[in-house]
Amino acid sequence: MRHFTFINEEMHAEKVSLKEIARAVGTPCYVYSSATFERHFSVFKDSVKDIDALIAYSVKANSNIGILATLSKLGAGADVVSGGELQRALTAGIPANKIVFSGVGKTKDEIEAAAKAKIKIFNVESIPELYAINDIAAQMNYLAPIAFRVNPDVSAGGHEKISTGKKEDKFGIAWSKAEQAYAVAETCSNIEVVGIDVHIGSQIDHLEPFEKAILKVGSLIKKLRSSGHNIRSFDIGGGLGIPYGDKSIIPPNPANYGAMVKRLTQELNVEMIFEPGRMISGNAGILLSTVLYVKKGEDRNFLIIDAAMNDLLRPALYDAYHEIEPVRKNPENSQIKKYDIVGPICESSDTFTKSRELPIIEQGELIVMHTTGAYGASQSSQYNTRPLVPEVLVKGNKYEVVRKRPTINDILKSENIPTWLI
């Protein structure tokens, strides 16, 4: 469910007019609905209510501290993959004992910061990383709680760039070496083995890959316990898909997902850790943009908008589909045209869609790209020296800018001309 609806023929975020936000904040900008975040988190929480569980929101999906604070109030933990994300989660009020630290390339400084904060668990992805954590923990007189992320070699379908659970992917300990990794961990004096972790991909639209991975890992848990390892937690990661509007994906119902997890894990006697990201934030955000020009080409019509691939990378990176519509409501019998919708960046890949059927749209009109609350702002950049766009959080009839648009001078202040050129 998303709370972007038409009121008096004009799209609103909850009870706030998008035209009002555009006038006050400018475009392009991201607009988020608190009600959608809250509802999606509650739906997921309800789906696993009969399970001993920690819901550790995947910060990489949308890392704005206003969003993290919203979820923290609902009891969310956090899955982080960098020192910066760790600091964001702590700043937003998420308790350290609800934070799990994932990622294949944790640095010394990041490990130290996580150890100092006393996070819940390190998800370890290689033996060299295990040794690094052990060495740092020894210097800090600290016992580091760890789980190995194991790679179950399960194909979850979807785009190859968001696959994480096949043997050729860079993530996790190879399945054939998992038991050996746990044996090595037992020799490390400042490591406490507490769990196991798996993550098979993103935007998964059926339950079978999850079931296959859970069954494999459940079998491994039993083997590890028989070898003396005290496995108390099972992190199943995230990856549950959401609808993007193209009708090609009908994702599993969270209730069915929760029922499946309960059925497959209830005899394991473990705390389950979930890392939903996209499922919580995807439909909670839109990218609001203005049509700069309507350009007629040889055989197609272009809408050139003020948003670009640096603001929303997913179409260029993944060929991702986003539903697009004008902010004004059009009659059902409106004349339809096909448009290529493109941004101003000097790259052919700065294209959001081709030959999309839409009502006739004029220069200066506002349009929205739906389902951009996940991996929209968090993947944005300042390519072409285009400032990061503002992020706006709506709550009922109120809204607030939760990330300001920097000026060009703000950007240039971080750089300098070398002294030998002055």
Tell whether domain 34-280 is in CATH 3.40.50.450: no
Kindly report the CATH number that applies to the domain delimited by 4-31+282-412: 2.40.37.10
* Strands lying side by side in the sheet with 10-13: 4-7, 10-13, 16-17
pLDDT at residue 166, rounded to an integer: 45
Distance between CA atoms of residues 159 and 349, nearest Å: 17
Distance between CA atoms of residues 66 and 196, nearest Å: 31
Catalytic position from the list 187, 346, 385, 417? 346
- 346 as an active site residue: the answer is yes
Under 8 Å between Cβ of 152 and 165: yes
Taken in order 54, 376, 281, 340, the sign of the CA dihedral is negative
Distance between CA atoms of residues 72 and 89, nearest Å: 9
Torsion of the alpha carbons at 354, 357, 363 and 364, rounded to the nearest 10: -100
Give, as one character, the DSSP assignment of residue 81: S
Under 8 Å between Cβ of 321 and 245: yes
Beta bridge partners, 98, equal none
pLDDT at residue 266, rounded to an integer: 93
Where in the chain is CATH 2.40.37.10?
Answer: 4-31+282-412
Q: Tokens 């050996």 map to which residue?
A: 180
Where in the chain is CATH 3.20.20.10?
Answer: 34-280
Amino acid at 43: V
Distance between CA atoms of residues 171 and 153, nearest Å: 11
Is the backbone of residue 166 left (phi > 0), alpha (psi -120 to 50) or beta?
beta
H/E element, 370:
none
Give, as one character, the DSSP assignment of residue 186: T
Helices 83-91 and 65-73 pack at an angle, to 10 degrees, of: 50
Under 8 Å between Cβ of 94 and 41: no
Under 8 Å between Cβ of 222 and 230: no
pLDDT at residue 165, rounded to an integer: 41
How confident is the chain (422 residues) per 10-residue block, as mean pLDDT? 91 98 98 98 96 97 98 98 98 98 96 98 97 98 97 68 49 91 97 96 89 95 96 95 78 93 96 97 97 92 97 94 94 89 96 96 97 97 97 98 97 96 96
Under 8 Å between Cβ of 286 and 366: no
Instruction: At 289, list the tokens.
Output: 């943009």
Cβ-based neighbour number of residue 378 at 10 Å:
18
Is the backbone of residue 264 left (phi > 0), alpha (psi -120 to 50) or beta?
alpha
**Residue 102, SS3 per DSSP:** coil
